[in-house]
Amino acid sequence: VAWTDFERATIKDIFSKIDYEVVGPAAISRCLIVYPWTQRYFAGFGNLYNAAAITSNPKVAAHGKVVMQGLEKAVKNMDNIKATFTELSTLHSEKLQVDPDNFMVGNAELMVLHPINCVDVESHAFFVVLQLLGDCLAIVVASQLGKDFSPEVHAAFQKFLAVVVSSLRRQYY
């Protein structure tokens, strides 16, 4: 991936401005609330019964921070995101493949919504959730940055997310 100076500066700037403790939990909560079937991946989080339960669940908040720390690694290694995420991609693949509790997503429904070719249904379901989480992250970051989230900044952030998503998918192939 080739980054322009503007993109590099913008990604670093975004991550210096956002508060991980706010953005991470808000992005995951948003994903779990807006796409409730994604909750099936996080059976271990306990009470996800409604929006209030999700936003006040300490495990959701903690995991939100963990995801942001993962993203920070990508920010610090922008020229090497794929290699940086090799281990993390494997971990997701293994964690999510071996734990059927995490994996019983409404797959048939997902396949209809997003009919793309993929190695198998489980991987496909993960790819969909990954994309949705990325979308939620973009919305939360936009709401945090306000006017600073210009179309150019948005484009740079989407590109960054696309590289992150493809790097996390990598070990599934």
Question: Please, which residues have CB within 8 angstroms of residue 150's CB and are 6 or more apart in sequence?
Answer: none
Residue 74 to residue 89: CA distance in whole angstroms = 13
Residue 161 to residue 136: CA distance in whole angstroms = 11
Number of Cα atoms under 13 Å in the Cβ half of residue 74: 26
Nearer to ligand HEM, 5 or 87 (CB): 87
Nearer to ligand HEM, 23 or 129 (CB): 129
Q: How far is the CB of 85 from ligand HEM (least distance, A)?
A: 8
Contact 96, 122 (CB under 8 A): yes
Residues of the shown chain interacting with ligand HEM in the complex, contacts defined by CB under 6 A: 41, 66-67, 70-71, 88, 91-92, 95, 102, 126, 129-130, 133-134, 164, 168
Q: How far is the CB of 158 from ligand HEM (least distance, A)?
A: 13
Q: How far is the CB of 147 from ligand HEM (least distance, A)?
A: 25
Q: How far is the CB of 31 from ligand HEM (least distance, A)?
A: 8
Task: Give the Cβ contact number of residue 138 at 10 Å.
Answer: 17
Nearer to ligand HEM, 5 or 58 (CB): 58
Task: Give the Cβ contact number of residue 131 at 10 Å.
Answer: 15
3-state DSSP call for residue 13?
A: helix
Nearer to ligand HEM, 61 or 133 (CB): 133
Nearer to ligand HEM, 48 or 168 (CB): 168
Residue nearest ligand HEM (C-beta atom): 70
Q: How far is the CB of 105 from ligand HEM (least distance, A)?
A: 8
- Cα–Cα distances (Å) from 74 to 22, 66, 137, 144, in that order, read 19, 13, 15, 20
